[in-house]
Each structure stands twice: as structure tokens, then as C-alpha cells.
Amino acid sequence: MLRRKFHLPHIASALGHFAFHVAMLAAKGGLGGETPTEDGSLTLRFAFREDLGKMTYTTMCIKESLRLFPPVPSVSRYLSKPVTFPDGRSLPAGLLSLFIFHAAPLFLPQIYDPLRFSPENSAQRHSHAFMPFSAGSRNCIGQQFAMNEIKVALALTLLRFELCPNPSMPPTPIQQLILKSTNGFHLHLKKIH
């Protein structure tokens, strides 16, 4: 079980939710031969910067987990006036909750689908439709570091272990400053090597 043993609680939250999603997807046979460690070219050696840039499927999986469970569920930025999108959907003036915004059924359904973040699908979406690190001039300056940290931690884990979910104990999210699971992340690890 992943607990609050990481230095940054928002990274721990993202890692926990992502690991649980990967385990659930694998258990349902939904990885389709692809794994978040890509084509098997990663080894147990140190992951270099070039390797991280090649992990496109991993990046899509991470973004989908961040969409469903953003580590920081709301931002303290207010819309000064209502915003209406070209397709008719709108956001009222006031606080923006990323947890609600990313999970709106009319916008992005509650189905875990990493291909939602393929280059083709991303190109069809408004640039601010996905904002796990906020957006604009006041976005998180550590977002690239956070994405790389998640990739390294999970790639090294998935190279050593198979993650198996415990479906009887799914994470129960609770919104605080950091989105957490009230009951942790219950996974079984099966050693690969």
C-alpha cells in the first residue's frame, strides 16, 4: 500500500492514483499489449532524460490519471465573468474546481482512457480543457519535474513488479488541499525479476 512516505504529498497522491489505474487496467486486459514502460526498451539502469521523452504512452496514462484525480483538486483563481465555449458549454463566474471540471460527463467522461491524450485527440481539445497543474502565467513551475518524477518512480516500479489491484478496496478520494484517499491505495506487488 502506498502511504504518505513521499516528501511531497501531491506527488504521492498522483503516484498512488496512477498505480491503481494501471493495475485496474491491466487486470481488465485493457493495456492491449502496451505497458506504461513502453516497448520494453527501458531497463533497470537509471532513466535518462532522453528516455523520459520517449515514454509517450506512459505520459498519456499519467495525464488520464491526473484528469480523473488531480492531486490539487482546486485552484484559488476565480473566473471574473462566465465563460462559454464554442460548443455551448459554459463555466460560471467563481472558483474553479479541477476535480469537478475534469470529471464533467459532458466534457470528459469518467472512463479511464489514456488514448484521450494521444496527439490526435489532444489537438482537438481546448488547451485549457486539462489543467492538473493550473494554466496560464500562474501555472505550476514544477509540472515538468513532477511528470518526470512520476515517470521515473513508476517505470522503475513496473520494471520490477506486476501491479495487481485489490478491487475490494478501491481508493476513496477525499478533497482537501491535496486530493487523498481515505483508505490508501491497496495493491499487490508480484516480483517480475
Q: Do the beta carbons of residue 42 and residue 51 sit within 8 Å? A: yes
Binding site, annotated residues for heme: 140
Does a structural domain hold residue 71? yes
Q: Do the beta carbons of residue 172 and residue 183 sit within 8 Å? A: yes
Picking from 18-27, 64-73, 121-130, which range would have the lowest pLDDT averaged per residue? Answer: 18-27
Question: Does the CA dihedral 114-120-124-130 come out positive or negative?
Answer: positive
CATH code of residue 175:
1.10.630.10
pLDDT at 91 over 80: no
Binding site, annotated residues: 140
pLDDT at 192 over 80: yes
Q: State the average pLDDT over residues 50-69.
A: 82
Q: What are phi and psi of 83, to 5 degrees?
A: -120, 130
Does a structural domain hold residue 46? yes
Does a structural domain hold residue 2? no
Does a structural domain hold residue 163? yes
Cα–Cα distance measured from residue 169 to residue 8, given in angstroms and rounded to the nearest whole number: 24
